[in-house]
Amino acid sequence: MELVMEEDLALYAVKLASELGAEYVDARLEDHYNEIIVVADGKVQQGVINRKRGIGVRTLVNGAWGFQSTTDLTKRGVRQTVEIAFKIAKASSRHVPKPVELAPAKAYKASYKTEARIDLEDVAFEDKLKHLVTWEKKLYTSKRIVRGLAEYTGLKINKMFVNNEGANIKFSNSLVWLSLKADSKKGAVAQSYEKTVGHSGGYELFKKNNMEKMAVEIGHKAEALLKAKAAKTEKDATVILDNDYAALLVHEIVGHPSEADRVLGREAAWAGTTWWAGKIGEKIGSEQFTAYDDPTIPGTLGYYLYDDEGVKARRKVLVKKGVLKGHMHSRETAAVFGVKPNAGMRAITFEYIPLIRMSNTFFGEGDWKKDELIEETKHGYLVSCMRHPSIDDKRYNWTISAQEAYEIKNGELTTHLRDVALTSTAPKFFKSIDAATKKVEIIPLPGCGKGDPMQSLYVGNGGPYIRGVATVLGVR
Amino acid sequence: MASVLAKLREAGETVLKIAEKKGLEEAEAYLVSNKVLTIRLVNNAVFESKGVHDIGVGLRVIKGNMLGFSSTADLSKKSLQKLVDAATSASKARKLPFKYSFPKPGKIPKVTGVYSKKLAELQPEKAVERAYEMVEASMSYSKKVKDNAGVLNIVSYETLVLNTHGVKAKNVGTFFEASLNATAKYRGKVSEGSEATAGRSIKELKPKEIGEKAAEMAVSGLKTQKLKEGIYTMLLDYEPTQEITSYAAMLVSPMIARLYYPLFLNKIGKKVASSQVTLIDDPLMHNGVGSAPIDDEGTPSKKRVIINRGVLKGFVYDSFYAAMEKKKTTGNAVRVSFAVGVSAFPGKNYNGEPIPLPRNPYIKPGKWKREEILEDTKRGLLVRRFHYTRLTNPTRGDFTSILRMGLYIVKNGEVTGAVRKSRLLDNLLKILQNVDAVSDKLVVAGSWGDYAHTPMIRTKAHVTPID
C-alpha cells in the first residue's frame, strides 16, 4: 500500500509541530477512492470516480485548536501545512479563556481492515453502471410507476493516524450502499417507496442481496400505497415502530442529543442544543428504554475500532432502563465531563477536523417477539420505514413521517395506510415505551450532516421493533 | 494568484493533450483552487481555527456519445494520465440516448464586485479578531446575553474551464459567511437569537452589527406568550424568505425535479405563486453572492426570469440536461458535491458532474417598505428565523419549519411581543400562492452554507405551538 511509503511524512508533521511548540499534535494521512452512480428514468444521471489523498494536521497551541490540510504530499507541502496549523492555533489562543484539556488516552499501535470479499476496484465501473440500469428498470412494475431512482456509492479509504503521544493506527475501510426508490401516481394520489442497503465491505453486498427482487418489491410497494387509505390524525395512539422507522427516530432523538459537544452548547450555531443537558443519572424514560452507540459491529456503516483521535472504540451505553447514562465523547469533552474518552470522533476526510459523531446508534433489545407485540395490541398502528424528519433544536419535539403503516385492531393488522407521520416529545415518548422485540437490526443511514463546513457522514442506526405512544398525524 | 492559475492551466492543458492522444473525441477539464479558513466560536470563545486549500481537477470525456467523469486532487502527470483512464472507464456503458457535446466558447461578460484582494489575503490572526468581535458585540449589547456560538468562513477560489472546443474561461472570487447564535438568560427564562449573512469583501463584513442583531433577537424573546394553533398572516423576514427562495430555486432544476422534488414538473406556463412573486436568477448582479461571469462549464452567465408574476416560465439548464430535453443551456451548470463521505466545502468543488441550478436567485423586490408591510398587518406573526426546514412531501409540497426563535405577534401594525417556539406546517405551493406583499430591498441572508439576496414577504401559513 502506497500510504505506508508516506508514513514518514505523517511522522514528520508530528515532529515538526512538536518542535514548533504545540502541546499536542495529530496527523491523519488518508487516501480516498469513491464512486457514485445515479440512475433515473433509465438514464445514468451521474457516474463519478474520485480520488483524493492528503494529510490533515491538528495542533493544540496554548490551549487552542488549529487545523490545516493539504494534498501536497511533499516534505515542503507538509511543512507549510504544519506551520499554518500552528499559526492559526496560536491566533485562536488569544480568545480562549479556558485552555483545552485532553482526557488521557492510551497510545495504540494497530493496523486493521474491513473485510471486502470483492474489492470495489476489481469490478469494472462499466459493469456497475449496467447493474444500476438493470435494477432501476426493475422498479417499473406497472404504468403506475412514474419515476425510478437508483443511487450507488462505493468508498475505499486507507487512513493512518499518528500523534505526538506515540499512537500509530492504520485502517483500511471499504463501504458500499445503494438506495432504490419508486414514485407512483394515480390521479391526484402520488406516493413513493424506497429502501437502502449498505455495509462496510465490498461489492459482495449485491451478491448477499438480490437487488432485482428488491427493486420489484419496491415497485409493488409504491403501487400498493396508491390503494392505501390516507391516515387520519389520532392523538396519543399506541404505535409499534419497525426497525427502519426506529432507526431514524433513534438517530434524531437519541443519537444527536448524545453528542457531548452538542450537550455543551458547541453546536448551537446551526444544529442546536440538547434538552437533556445536565440530566445524566436521571430517569428520562421507561424501564424498556435502552440505547447504545457501538462502532465495533463489523459489517455496519458505522464500523471502526479506533476513532480519529486514536481512541479505542467500545460500546457506549447512552440510556439504560430509562436512565440517562452517558454521552458520545471526544478526548476534550471527556475531560470536561470527567469521564474516559469513548472514541466518538470522526471526520469524513483528512481535509476536515474531527467532530463527535454517531457510529451505530440503536435502541436496545427487549424480550418480545414481533407477532406477540402485534397480537397484544388492541388498537394501534404498525409504522414502517423512515421518511422525513423534522426535529426542533433541542431534540425535544419531533415529527417523523413514515412510508407506510397498518392499523392494528384487536391484535391484527388491518387497513393499509399512507401519508403517515408521528409526533411527540422525546421524554413523553421515552416514558411510553412498554415493549421491544429481541431482534435488533442496524439499518444503513448514509447522509448524517454536522459541522460547518458541513461533513456528510455514513452511520448505522436501528433497534428492535418497539412499542410506545405518539400522535398520528394525517394529511393536512 | 497568478501562479495558482498558471498551475491549473498547465494541468488542464496536459489533461486535454492526454485525452486527445487517447483518441477521445471531446474532453473538458474543470480546475479548482479553493481556500477556506474557518473560525468557529463556541461558549463565547474561539474554539478552533481550521483551513483547507483544495486543488484539483474534474474531467469529463466523450467518445462515441458516451460520457465519463473522474476527478483527482493530484496534478502530477502520472496522476493526470490515470485520471483520463478513469474518466474513459466511467464512460463505457454510459451511451447517452441523446446527442451530447460540451459547450462552445461564447462572449464572456464582466462581473464586478465578486473579488476582494483584502479578503483573499486576510491573515488568520485578523480573521480570528473579526470573528471574536461578533461575540464581544453580542455580550456588550446586554448583560442578559450569556452564551454565543458562531462561525466565520472566509473563502477564496479560482476556477478554470478548458475544453476541446476551445473554451478557456476563468472565474475568480472571494466571499465570507458570518453567523452568530446568541443565548440570553434572565430569571429562569432562556431565549435565542441569531444573525447570519454573507458578502464578497472585507468591507461588507460587519461583526458588530451581526453580534448586536443576534443579541437583540435573543433578549427580545425572554418574555413570550404561547400561540394558538391556526392559520396566520406571516411576515417572513429576510432569512425565512431566503429559505423559501432556496427551495423554489431547487424546484426549477430539471435534475432535482426528476430525481427528488417533482413539485414543479409539468407546471411550466402555470401559476405556481401569487402575482407578487417574480423569481429571477441573475449571476451578473454586481456584488452578487452567487455572481460569476461563467457557469461551471464555461458558458457565459445571463440574467433570467424563472417565475414571472407567479407564472413558471421555465427550468434552468446546464448543457447535459439541455441536451436531454432538446433545449439550450441557460448557463446554469453548478458543481456541487452532495455525495456522502466526499468533501464539499463552501466555494468551488471539482469532484462532481455539473448539475443545473439557479446561481444567484432572488425574489424580485416589490413596492413595500419593510415597515409598511408591518404597519399594514392587522394581526399576524413576524418570523425572523426558520430552523430545520423540510419539504416533507416533495410531490405534494408539504412543508415544515421549526420557528425556533425570533417569532413575534403583530397587532394593528406593531410588534407586540414574542411567541414561544412553534412549528410551521403547510404547503410550499400554498405559501407561494398566498404572498400578497414583497419588500423593496434585497438583503443577504441565509443559514448553514446557503446564502442569497432576498426581500421579505408576507403570506399565510398554518402554525402550531410545540412543547
A211-224 tens-digit pLDDT = 999 999 999 999 99
* CA–CA gap between residue A68 and residue A54 (Å, rounded): 11
Of B351, B425, B447, the CB nearest to A476: B425
Pairing mode, strands A455-463 and A360-363: parallel
Are the beta carbons of A365 and A320 closer than 8 angstroms?
no
CB < 8 Å to B79, chain A:
51
Per CB-CB distance under 8 Å, the chain B contacts of A452 are 38, 40, 151, 153, 448-449
Pairing of the two strands A379-391 and A234-241: parallel
Q: Which residues of B touch A38 (CB under 8 A)?
A: 259
Separation CA A250–CA B317 (nearest Å)? 39
Of A57, A55, A50, A15, which is closest to residue A33 (Cα–Cα)?
A50
The CA distance from A108 to A162, in Å, is 9
Name the one residue in this structure whose C-alpha cell is 500510504.
A3
Place of cell 410531490: B395
Cα–chain center distance at A261:
17
- B344 pLDDT higher than 80: yes
Residues A361 and A255 sit within 8 Å (Cβ to Cβ)? yes
- Model confidence at A158: pLDDT above 70: yes
Confidence check: pLDDT of A397 > 80: yes
pLDDT band at A269 (very low <50, low <70, confident <90, very high): confident
In chain A, which residues have their Cβ closer than 8 Å to the Cβ of B37?
Answer: 88
How many CB atoms lie under 10 A from the CB of residue B75?
Answer: 21
Give the contacts of B38 (CB within 8 A, at least 6 positions apart): A452, A453, B48, B49, B50, B51, B151, B152, B153, B154
Check CB contact under 8 Å for A54 and B447. Answer: no
CB distance A424 to A470 below 8 Å: yes
pLDDT at A1: 44
Residue B462 and residue A397: Cβ atoms within 8 Å? no
Q: Is the pLDDT of residue B20 over 70?
A: yes
Looking at residues B148-175, what average pLDDT do you find?
A: 97
Under the banding of pLDDT at 50, 70 and 90, the label for residue B396 is confident
Tell me how far the alpha carbon of residue A245 is from its chain's centroid.
14
Nearest to B352 by CA among A36, A348, A69: A36
Q: What is the CA radius of gyration of chain A?
A: 24
* Cβ-Cβ contacts under 8 Å for A313 (sequence gap 6 or more): A295, A296, A304, A305, A306, A307, A342, A343, A359
**SS3 (DSSP) at A150:** strand
Q: Percentage of residues in chain A with pLDDT exceeding 70? A: 99
Q: Are B135 and B180 in contact (CB under 8 A)?
A: yes
E strand spans, A347-411 = 355-356, 360-363, 379-391, 397-409
Query: Is the distance from CB of A308 to CB of A451 less than 8 angstroms?
Result: no
Asked if A349 and B342 come within 8 Å (Cβ–Cβ), the reply is yes
The Cα–Cα gap between B290 and B267 comes to: 26
Smallest Cα distance from B190 to chain A, Å: 12
What interface predicted TM-score (ipTM) does this complex get?
0.94
Confidence class for position A231, pLDDT limits 50, 70, 90: very high
| The pLDDT of residue A280 | 98
Span A102-123, pLDDT tens digits: 999 999 999 999 999 999 999 9
Helical (H) or strand (E) element with B177? strand B168-186
Of B125, B147, B396, the CB nearest to A91: B125
Closest chain B CA to residue A40: B259
pLDDT in tens, B258-275: 999 999 999 999 999 999
B395's CB contacts (< 8 A; 6+ apart) are A183, A185, A190, A192, B262, B263
| 3-state SS track over B3-72 | HHHHHHHHHHHHHHHHHHHCCCCEEEEEEEEEEEEEEEEECCEEEEEEEEEEEEEEEEEEECCEEEEEEE
Average pLDDT over residues B445-451: 94
Shortest CA distance to B310 belongs to which of B271, B367, B364? Answer: B271
CA distance A204 to chain B (A): 20
pLDDT for the residue numbered B337: 72
Determine the residue of chain B that is closest to A124 in CA distance: B89
Other CB atoms within 10 Å distance of the CB of residue B116: 21
The C-alpha of A291 sits at a distance from chain B's nearest C-alpha, in angstroms, of 24
Cell of B300: 457565459
Q: Report d(CA A449, CA A52) in Å as an integer.
A: 21
CATH number of A2-227: 3.30.2290.10
What Å distances lie between residue B35 and B118, B354, B453, CA to CA? 14, 20, 23
Helix (H, G, I), strand (E, B) or coil at A337: helix
Do the Cβ atoms of A240 and A377 come closer than 8 Å? yes
Report pLDDT for A110. Answer: 98
Report the residue from B91, B124, B340 with minimal CB separation from A87: B124
Cβ partners under 8 Å of residue B261, min gap 6: B250, B251, B391, B394
Strand ranges of the sheet holding B311-312, from the earlier edge strand across to the other edge: B311-312, B304-308, B279-281, B361-363
CA distances from residue B322 to A312, B302, B314, B316 in whole angstroms, order as listed: 51, 16, 12, 9
A2: pLDDT strictly greater than 80? no
Q: How many angstroms separate the most distant Cα atoms in chain A?
A: 73
Q: Give the N- to C-terminal CA distance of chain B in Å, as an integer.
A: 53
Confidence at residue A3, expressed as pLDDT on a 0 to 100 scale: 54
DSSP A258: G
Query: What mean pLDDT comes out for the span B149-177?
Result: 97
B68 contacts B94 by C-beta, under 8 angstroms:
yes
CA distance A476 to B220: 32
Contact B403, B386 (CB under 8 A): yes
**Residue found by looking up cell 434585497 in the block:** B442
Q: CATH code for B2-220? A: 3.30.2290.10
Q: Which residues fall within 8 angstroms of residue B265, CB to CB, at 6 or more apart? A: B257, B258
> Smallest Cβ distance to B94: which of A69, A129, A397?
A129
Is the CB of B345 less than 8 angstroms away from the CB of A453?
yes
Side-chain-facing half-sphere of A461: CA atoms under 13 Å: 26
Residue-by-residue DSSP string for A44-92 = EEEEEEEEEEEEEEEEEETTEEEEEEES--SHHHHHHHHHHHHHHHHHH
pLDDT digits (tens, 9 = 90+) for B238-249: 999 999 999 999
User: Mean of the pLDDT values across residues A44-73?
Assistant: 95
B43 — contact with chain A (CB < 8 Å)? yes
Contact between chains at B426 and A476 (C-beta distance less than 8 A): yes
pLDDT over 70 (residue B1):
no
Mode of pairing for the β-strands spanning B230-236 and B379-383: parallel
Dist. CA A224–CA A246, nearest whole Å: 23
User: Average per-residue pLDDT in chain A?
Assistant: 96
Spacing of C-alpha A360 from chain mean position: 7
Q: Taking the domains of chain B in order of start, what are their residue ranges?
A: 2-220, 224-465
Q: Report the C-alpha gap between B193 and A128 in whole angstroms.
A: 49
Domain ranges (residues) in chain A? 2-227, 230-473
The predicted model scores a pTM of 0.96
Verify whether the Cβ–Cβ distance A399 to B69 is below 8 Å.
no
Which triple of cell numbers denotes residue B263?
413539485
Residues B435 and B394: beta-carbon distance below 8 Å = no
Q: Are B160 and B8 in contact (CB under 8 A)?
A: yes
d(CA A149, CA A135): 9
**Spatial separation of the C-alpha atoms in residues A322 and A426, rounded to whole Å:** 12
pLDDT digits (tens, 9 = 90+) for A287-343: 999 999 999 999 999 999 999 999 999 999 999 999 999 999 999 999 999 999 999
Identity of the residue in A98, A126, A397 whose CB atom sits nearest the CB atom of B466: A397
State the greatest distance between any 2 C-alpha atoms of chain B, in Å, as a whole number.
Answer: 75
Average confidence (pLDDT) over B213-242: 97
pLDDT computed for residue A315 by the predictor: 98
